[in-house]
Structure 1
């Protein structure tokens, strides 16, 4: 059986949402494509891939520039409503995700959800998981990923040292955010082969990670403190 830490851990396990814990990316692609088709414009697979993990205004601005009506906020709101309803109907957990969350939380590891996604989607997943001590969505930050603010904010809310923590990510923007926050990155390479920042561990699935792996990494002695890069955006 996995052991638990006899004393409070100095770090935590911080998880991205889409592509890391759940696979709602197909729903986002459908939502974006529907918006484009209803306006008589195009949204290609390449457009979707180029904006994975980026702040939502990025893809909404592209759609707006191509002729999708409404403000950026309205375009995002339409997509969020569609995706939220889809995942409310069936939570698309990725293999090993729910099991890992449950086991690390039971072992006393502080856990956070850190996403560029909307608050509504983040809340649904957080409620389904029932283990997060902090949830940071696009609504909670001034500068989303790839800026370090989301991960630094989540670590602060958990009361853990970013440099003694682990960030689970699957996108370049997310890995960059965590790296700039001083966190070792455990990178899921299903969508992106090169995160463009150093990673501590490369994964194909969360089924490859055990609670003992996480505890061993969190108990490693890493000195230093994490700070945001001045002017880093």
Structure 2
């Protein structure tokens, strides 16, 4: 098939993998270790944001550690869970496989730090039997976290493509805002939180049973909408 899309840009947590419960559990445990309380609802407010923002919020909740130590502890806890089992979201592996089979480059664009991102990237590559991502842009690679578009702009630059012809998949408000403002065709796939219509060009329940033809139709709808 022919497509006007030049690359696929994939968020990780909540989009490719249902890891948000791992992060929420890690946050609750860390706050509790300092005698505080961290609720599920509080955790949801951080979904998709940069880890430095999460660390600041946990400090306000009573965690008496510097931000770097908080990030290291949370990341290590989540990574240990991912090393045991990757909770893939429906259709994620198949979508990346389709893109690679049609010669479309892909990048992982996440606010998780590189160690965690590479754990997932390696697992995806093992699942597909080939290198899944041309580049990984992680939270410790950027100066401005999502919702700033820096991560998506850097991913497109690394792949050598025009971000305005790329498609980005996101599950969170912060992530969708970053992708949308970068110029990429943004498909929201909400999981634990909703995404306002103003931050996406379209929304799917999941990537399951979706094809490049579906992406092409979303591209055409964006063009028709002006």
TM over 0.5: yes
- Aligned pairs (5 A) from 1:24-43: 24-43=19-38
The residue number in structure 2 matching 1:84 is 79
The residue number in structure 2 matching 1:103 is 98
- The ranges of structure 1 where at least 4 consecutive aligned residues each deviate by more than 6 angstroms after the TM superposition are 218-222
Deviation at 1:197, TM superposition (A): 2.4
Deviation at 1:192, TM superposition (A): 2.9
**CA RMSD, 1 decimal:** 2.1
3-state DSSP of counterpart to 2:168:
strand
Q: Distance in 1 between matches of 2:8 and 2:216?
A: 10
3-state DSSP of counterpart to 1:14:
strand
The residue number in structure 2 matching 1:228 is none
State which of 60, 64, 68 in structure 1 corresponds to 2:59.
Answer: 64
3-state DSSP of counterpart to 1:207:
coil
Residue pair 2:172, 2:194 contacting (<8 A) in 1 also:
no
The residue number in structure 1 matching 2:163 is 162
Aligned length, in residue pairs: 217
2:174 corresponds to 1:173? yes
Higher helix share: 2
Q: Distance in 2 between matches of 1:27 and 1:191?
A: 13
Residue pair 2:44, 2:193 contacting (<8 A) in 1 also:
no
Residues 1:79 and 1:159: Cα distance change in structure 2 (over 3 Å): same
The residue number in structure 1 matching 2:89 is 94
Residue pair 1:4, 1:107 contacting (<8 A) in 2 also:
no
Q: Distance in 2 between matches of 1:138 and 1:188?
A: 20
Residue pair 2:185, 2:219 contacting (<8 A) in 1 also:
no
The residue number in structure 2 matching 1:225 is none
State which of 113, 119, 129 in structure 2 corresponds to 1:124.
Answer: 119
Unpaired runs of 5+ residues, structure 2, are 126-131
